[in-house]
Structure formats: C-alpha cells, structure tokens
Amino acid sequence: MSSQSQPSNLASAIGWVPPDNWPAMSREQCKELLTAPGERFEMEEVDIRGVRLRTWKNAPPNLRALAMFGRMYGEREFMIYDDERVTYAAWFQAVAKLAHAFREHGIAKGDRVALAMRNLPEWPVVFFAATTIGAICVPLNAWWTGPELAYGLSDSGTKLLVCDDERWERIAEHRGDCPAIETVIVSRCEGQPEGARRLEDIIGKPNDYKSLDTMELPEVEIAPEDDATIFYTSGTTGRPKGALGTHRNLCTNILSSGYNAACAVLRRGEKIPDPVPKKGLTVIPLFHVTACSAGLMGNIAAGNTLIFMYKWDPIEAFQIIEREKVNVTGGVPTIAWQLLEHPERKNYDLSSLEAIAYGGAPAAPELVRKIREEFGALPGNGWGMTETMATVTGHSSEDYLNRPDSCGPPVAVADLKIMSEDGSRELPVGEIGELWARGPMVVKGYWKNPEATAETFVDGWVKTGDLARLDEEGWCYIADRAKDMIIRGGENIYSSEVENVLYDHPAVTDAALIGLPHRELGEEPAAVVHLAPGTQASEEELQEWVADRLAKFKVPVKIAFSHETLPRNANGKILKKDLAGMFG
C-alpha cells in the first residue's frame, strides 16, 4: 500500500479501509491530465487587479453567457417547487422579460438590485435578470430582521428591490431608511402591495413562464472582472460587510466543482463518464454563496434539475427524494444527520441518492462513514467563505473517507498558504497558522470599505482568519475558525454583534458569546453575562431582548450569569475558553 493510501488515524477509527490499488493516481497526476492543453480544465494565466493568477480557460466569461448556455437545455426541467415546474426555456423567457422591465425602471450597469426571498423559482429569475444586464445583485439574508434588511439595502445603495411578501412585511416600515430605493417589486403578495409592484404582473406565476413571449436579453457588454454581486458577511467587529464579487468569481465555481468530481473518478481508477443530468434537492438558502455560487452556477451549466422546499422538513425531504428520484442533496451537516437518524427513513426509497455534500460547518468524522454505509452515497465536503465566493478546496468520495478531518486540497486554480499570526512569514508543512487563500474566486474587496479591504486582501491573497495546517500533499485541515465566530448549522454568528445587543440592555455590563458543541448543528450560541449591581434580568428576558433585535438563529440558547466581571487577559480581551465550564 502506498503512503498516499495509508488511512489516517481517524479513517481507521471510523473503520474505513482503502480499496486495493487506491489511489490510482496522485492528485498531481490528476492535475496534469485534467489541465493539459485542449482539455476541459485547461488553465491560463490572467492579470487580475495587478496579480497574475491561474484561471479556467473554458469558464464562461460572465453570467450572461451562462444564462444563454442554460437556455439551450430547452424543455428540460430546471426548477421544481411544490406543484410548480419550470423548464430552462421558460426560466430564460422570464429572465429576459424581467431584465427588460428592470431597464424600463432605469436600472443600468452597476446599479444595485437587491433580492430578499425564500428559495423560490423566482429567485434565479431575479438574480439573472439583474446580472445579465450588468447590474449588481445583492442577495440579502432572508432570516434577517427588518432593521438588518434595511441596513443591507441602505449600505448597498440598492435602487430596485425584489422580495417576497414575508420580507416586504419586515422591510416596508423601514423603507424611509433606504433613500436610494426607487422601485420595489413583491412576489406572492395577496392584493396590491402599497408603494410596490407585484412581480406576477410582470412575468406571471412560475407555471406561466412558458407562456411568455420569446425575447432576447437587453444588449450590454460585460467583462469577466465586472461587478456582479454583493453578498453580506458579518465581521468580528461592527456592521456586516458587503463582499463585492465579479462575474469571474461566480463562473470559476462551475469548473472548480467539475474538477473536484473528475479528480475523484481518476483517483478511483475509472474513466470520466459522459455528463448525465442530475436532480438535486436544494435545502440551503440561495442567499449563501454555497448554494448560489457553488451550487446554482454549476447546476445551470450541467442542465441539472433543482428542487426547492418552503422550509426544511425531513419527512417532506424523504417524500421528495422518493418521488423525484433525487440524486444529490446536503448543505450542512445538520441536514445529513437528520436524514440518517430520522425514524421514518426506513419507510422511503432513497436509493436514488448518489452524493450527500455539505460545507459551512464542522462535521464529525463519524458522519462521513455513516453517509457511505447507510445510503451507499459518496460524502462530499469543501472549504470556502463569502470572500472566496465559495469553493477553494474540495473533498469527496474515497479521499474524504481517507481523511475525514480534512476539507480537502485546493482546486487547480487556487493556492493556499499558512502564515504566522503577524503575516510576516509562511509557516512550514504541518504547522498551524492563519490560512491565506488566492485564486480567481477571491472577491474584489468589501463594498465601500477600503480600510477593511486593505486589512483583509493582500496582493491577491485573502486573509481568512481561520487557523489551519497543510499536510505534505496539500490537504487542508481547519484547526479553529475565524475569530469570535460561531457556525450554527451553516449560519455564521459573529459574537460581537450579539454581545453588542446584550450590552444595550440596561442591566448588562459585561457579555461574551461562545459556541456550545451540538452534534447536528455543529455549534449553538450561548452567552455569559454580568449584571450591574442592583439590577435584575432573567435568561428568558435577555433571550427575548436579542430576538427582538436580531435574527432568531443568533439568539443564545443558554445564558449563564457571572457574579464577577468576566475574566480577561492583559490586553483586556475576554478569555472565552474559560467560560465553557459554566454550562456544565
């Protein structure tokens, strides 16, 4: 057995034994074969903002080209939602119709079009109607409260907002805080929304898209490095920051995902099969780069069918998987655990599942083995962040079983390095330091925030804030996540944001948010507070205080009260590692 195929200690612990003669190729051999001149994954060097970077030569130049490509799948089903079914041809007709409507409302290249809604068939229509005419789409977190949504709209300078009825109910009273908004279009609204248009009055309902007149997209020139999206990511301090993504950023993921899949096949010793359309159950929100950039873009390029749910429910998921013969699902480890352990699973035929992939939260190695054993499906994982527009590393199949504690190696167009805390030197293989990433997927910077941009982006590299190490073959292992960040079921919770809300309570004089381990969610937020002498506040009162001001997933599940002020180091920073013991 080669040194490459020796299972890690964790792989042995979960009982995985590599097949004979695995791997058939080294990762470097895969790279040489797949990226050779004339091959699908051929690379070329491009100057991007003064830095020479490897890019996928055959990636679509922009999202407009991707939409035109998707149109060619014609009557193949693209989206399914309850009893709504939309073909690729019908989707494109709705995109073109709405793009012209945006133009009529004065939307030009570079204007911001915000999108705030659940995973609905309207979501990819709005996204591409905006980006194919050169506007910047701003997908907002649909779980945000009214004030949080208003902040994103105001900060981005959104000129036109498209939202569903639920989001409009939250936003309407804050419209005065968003002076740049000229037009609001609301979907799935009963009656006429005050001060807004109904989306259905422009393009009809999803099942009506097929009846729309055939038309072309409005003419516009779009370069790969033109601005395409603003995805908001919270920082460890202050307000959320808008990561400014380009058309190249999003199109890079199409080939990055395909490259990872091809590597897995070659390492197994098999020939790369001809592409076959797949059906995927999309359960993570499209306002995340994981679902939008890493998922939606590649699925359109492949002509796959996407199925949406109103909200996650394991029983409904089983029914959909059985009825629609779903091949791929996942999103975050929570989903995988619930699929595995739900008592009703045995009552459904889930044999169509081929892969369960996830990211966005740490996963127990045991989950990797169970996916393979219980479903016969291949597990998949990867690492990325909003600032990298999702995929930087990819990990799946036998490689994942062999290294279940890794997030995989970087794709061929990406580079990783481990830097010292002060960023002055690169650390050797095996040492833990800050993970830096580089490649054509890294965003331009933060929207209208030059200080934060200069601090995070250095000569094409993004300083991730994650602590990690690399092994001899380049596989990455995340040791600790970004400072003061908790990841609950794939949702980032930045401690300072919740702490600041707690500090606003008149009784609280000291507060710290930490993550408590949770097998399904990865972590849950918990707070430790110190109250001012002579004041009172209960756990329930403080939880309601946070819930009234922030999205529900940010509310601490437990709050412990400290009689003393919280422990600090010499620099005055709270020693959070000392607080977990307060929760037993």
* 8 A C-beta contact, residue 160 and residue 105: yes
What is d(CA 372, CA 569) in angstroms, rounded to the nearest whole number? 45
Q: Which has the closest alpha carbon to 551: 234, 172, 139, 290? A: 234
Going by pLDDT thresholds of 50, 70 and 90, the confidence category of residue 1 is: very low
Summarize pLDDT for 167-215 with one digit per residue, the tens. 999 999 999 999 999 999 999 999 999 999 999 999 999 999 999 999 9
What is d(CA 423, CA 436) in angstroms, rounded to the nearest whole number? 9
Helix axis angle for 122-131 and 88-104, nearest 10°, is 50
Q: What percent of the chain has pLDDT over 70?
A: 95
On the question of pLDDT at 330 being above 90, the answer is: no
Beta-ladder partners of 408:
476
pLDDT value, residue 485 = 80
Nearest-5° Cα angle at 437, 433 to 438: 150
* 8 A C-beta contact, residue 329 and residue 353: yes
Cis before 23 (ω within 30): yes
What is d(CA 44, CA 59) in angstroms, rounded to the nearest whole number? 11
What is d(CA 326, CA 6) in angstroms, rounded to the nearest whole number? 33
Q: Which has the closest alpha carbon to 418: 475, 359, 380, 484? A: 475
Going by pLDDT thresholds of 50, 70 and 90, the confidence category of residue 65 is: very high
Beta-ladder partners of 232:
242
What is d(CA 152, CA 141) in angstroms, rounded to the nearest whole number? 9
Report whether CATH 3.30.70.1560 matches the domain 9-58+243-480.
no
Q: The tokens of 259 are what?
A: 């490259």
What is d(CA 540, CA 557) in angstroms, rounded to the nearest whole number? 10
Q: Which has the closest alpha carbon to 511: 493, 491, 497, 492? A: 497
Summarize pLDDT for 492-503 with one digit per residue, the tens. 887 878 887 898
The CATH fold assigned to 485-583 is GMP Synthetase; Chain A, domain 3 (3.30.300)
Of the ranges 294-308, 356-370, 391-405, which one carries the lowest mean pLDDT score?
356-370
Going by pLDDT thresholds of 50, 70 and 90, the confidence category of residue 2 is: very low
Q: CATH code for 63-222?
A: 3.40.50.980
Summarize pLDDT for 339-362 with one digit per residue, the tens. 888 889 999 999 999 998 876 655
Going by pLDDT thresholds of 50, 70 and 90, the confidence category of residue 126 is: very high
Helix axis angle for 247-267 and 27-34, nearest 10°, is 120
Provide the sign of the torsion angle of the four alpha carbons 423, 46, 414, 28, taken in this order: negative
What is d(CA 390, CA 388) in angstroms, rounded to the nearest whole number? 5
Q: Which has the closest alpha carbon to 259: 406, 440, 387? A: 440
Per CATH, 9-58+243-480 and 485-583 having the same topology is answered: no
Burial class (CB in 10 A: 0-12, 13-18, 19+), 536: exposed
Neighbour order of strands in the sheet with 508-518: 508-518, 522-531, 558-561
What is d(CA 71, CA 68) in angstroms, rounded to the nearest whole number? 5
Provide the sign of the torsion angle of the four alpha carbons 446, 448, 450, 451, taken in this order: negative
In the chain, domain spans: 9-58+243-480, 63-222, 485-583
